[in-house]
A and B are shown apart, each in its own frame.
Chain A
Amino acid sequence: MFADLTCGALSELESGRSCSSQEIAMRVAAGAARLRARGLQRGDRLFILYGNNLEFFVDLLAAWNVGASVVPVDNRLTPFEVENLARTVTPKFALTDATVPTALGDALVALGVELLGSSDLAADAVPSANAFCAARLDDEALILFTSGTTGVPKGVVHTHRSLRARWLCLRQSLGIDCFRRTLCLLPTHFGHGLICNSLFPWLFGQDLIIAPPFSPYLLMRLGPIVDEQKITFLSSVPSMWGLSLKGSKPPQGNTLQRIHCGSAPLSAHLWGQIQQWSGIRAVYNAYGITETGSWVAGTSIEDFEPEDGLVGVPWGAVIKILKNADPQTPFADGAECRVAETGYVWINTPALMQGYYGQPELTDQVISGGWFVTGDMGLIDDRGRFYLKGRERDEINKGGAKVYPADVDAVVERFEPATAVCTFAIADPAYGQNVAMAVVLSRQDDATLRQLHGWLKEHLAEFKIPQRWYVVDELPQNSRGKVSRATVQEFCASLKPVDLVGLLRRGS
C-alpha cells in the first residue's frame, strides 16, 4: 500500500471480531503473498463476492498490494448477472466465502474463473517481510459496476490516483478528526459505502466499525449502538432513517460529531428529524456519484437550514451548471446558466473515474475535456450554494439501491411471449421508490405470468424484480410518438395491477 496511507483498526459490529492496525498490516502482507503464490499478478482483475466484513478489507488491500484491481460484487445478483460481469472483465480469480450462494461460484467456475477462499483471519498472523507494493498510481484499483448487469455492464474504473484524489480532497474539505470512529452500515460493493464511508476514514488511520448493510435490527438500535461503540461519524441513505427515527432511542453519549446522508434525495423534513434525533447540527446532505469517487459536494457550510434540494459546496471539485448536456460542445458561448437558473450539472474533479470499462464511446458521451456530465439537474444560487433539482438519469432509487429500468426491460424482452415492456418507478412508503413494469404479452394467462415471474427470478437480483405489474394491450406513447417511462407511469396509475401474490399462490 502507498507508504503514507496507514489504516486504522477494523472491527465488526455484530461479531465483535476486530483487528488492530498492526495486525491488518500483517494480514495484508500474508494475503498478498498468498495471492501471488496462486499466480495473481499486477494488472489482473479479482472478484470479491463478499463484503462488510474484516476479510473483505484485508483481501482488498492484499489485492492492491499485488497490483491487481478489485471488483466488489453484490452477491444478491443472480448467476446470470454475475456471469455477464465476468465475461466483461474476465477476472483471474474470485474470492468467495460461506456467505456467498454456491450458484454464483459455480457460474464463475464454469467460465474458467478460479475460486479462492477469503483470507483466514483465524490463522496466526505471522510477520512477513513487507513485499514492495506493486501497484502504480495510474493502475486500475476498483471497478464498480452500476447498470447493465443484464446487458452490457457499465463498470466505473477508478485508479489509485483517482481514489487518492477523492480521499485527499475530502480530508482537505472535511478534516479527519470527526471520523475518528466511523460506523459503516452501507454495502461495500458500491461507491458510497466503500470509497467514502469506509476507505476514506480508515486509510487515514481512523477506526472503522463495519456492520451488515441495511440491517433493520441494527437500525432499530442505532442510538444505543452509537453510544456503545462511541461512534463519531456515520453515513446513511434516507430510507435507513425510517426505522431508526421511529424505533431507536436517540444516542445519549454525545460522541456523534457528524452524519452524512446521500445516494437519494434528502427532504428538509427528514433532514431536520435526523438533526433532532442525533442532537447535532452537523448532518450533511452528501452528493456523490460513483464516477466522481462518490462524495463530491455537501453541506459543510457553517450556517444553513435544511432545505429540499440543498447540497452546498464542492468537496474537491468544480461544479458548473450548463444549459446543455452535449459532450461535444459543452462550453460553447453562452453555455453556462445564470445564477439560480436550473441546468445540467457538470463536474470537474481530480477524483474522476478513468472511464467505463471497455466502453470508450460511452465514456466519451459523459466526459469532455475533463468535465463530467452527471445526468443531474441543479442550480447554484447567489450565495454559491449548489442545489439538486432533479435527475435525468434513468434509474429507480429503491432505498439507496439503484435499479436501472433498462436492465429490467432487457430481461423481459428476452421472455418469448413478451412483445413490449416498460419498467418505471412507483412511490413506496418504505423504500422511497419501487419497481413497476407495464408489459405486453402474446399470451396473458396465469401460467404465462407465472413463467414470467420465474424468468425474472432467474435473471434478476430480487431487489430489481418489479413489484407491481401491469399487463396492457399496448404501451402508450407520448406526444412525440415515443414510449416514455413517465407516460407509461401516468397511464398505469389508473389501471389495476396484476394480483401477483394471488397469482403465485394459485400456482404453488
Chain B
Amino acid sequence: MTDKERSRQELVDFLRTIQRPDYSHAVIDEESGLVESGLIDSLALLQIVTYLEQAYGVDFSERGIDPEDLRSVNSILDLIAREAAS
C-alpha cells in the first residue's frame, strides 16, 4: 500500500468515527463535500482539524484554515500531500 493509499484509508476510517450515524451510503464519495453530503455536521470540521494536527503535524495556527482544504476527502488528501512536500 502506498503512502497515499494508507493516508486515504486512515482518513476514511477516521471519518467513520465522526460521521452522522444515519449516513446511509456504504462508500464515502471522495469528491463530494463532507458537510454537503450529510456525512458530518459542520462542527465536526473541528475534529478533522485536530486529526490533521495530531496525525500529520499540520500547524493551522501558522497557515490558517482554508475551508476548501477541508471540503472533501480528496481536498484533505491534497492538503496532507502538500504538507508532506513542504
Please report A residues at the B interface, Cβ cutoff 8 Å.
Answer: 214-217, 220-221, 239, 242-243, 245-249, 399, 429-431, 453, 457, 462, 467, 500-501, 504-505, 508
Contact = CB atoms under 8 A, between A and B. Distances in A.
Contact of A216 (B16, B43, B50, B61): B43
A243 B49 CA distance: 8
B44 interface: yes
A487 to B, nearest CB: 26
26 contacts: A214-B42, A215-B42, A216-B45, A216-B46, A220-B64, A220-B65, A239-B43, A242-B49, A243-B65, A245-B61, A246-B46, A246-B49, A246-B53, A246-B60, A247-B49, A247-B60, A247-B64, A429-B46, A429-B47, A429-B50, A457-B22, A467-B21, A501-B23, A504-B21, A504-B23, A508-B26
A399 to B, nearest CB: 6
A242 B42 contact: no
Contact of A217 (B24, B47, B67): B67
Interface residues of B, number: 24
Contacts of B61: 245-246
Q: B-side binding surface: helix, strand, loop or mixed?
A: helix
Contact of A214 (B19, B35, B43, B60): B43
Interface of B: 16, 19, 21-24, 26, 35, 41-47, 49-50, 53, 60-61, 64-67
A505 B16 CA distance: 11
Nearest to A500: B21
A242 B21 contact: no
Contacts of A453: 21-22
Nearest to B61: A246
**Most chain A CB inside 10 Å of its own CB: which residue of B22, B26, B53:** B22
Contacts of A457: 22
Contacts of B50: 429
Contacts of B42: 214-217
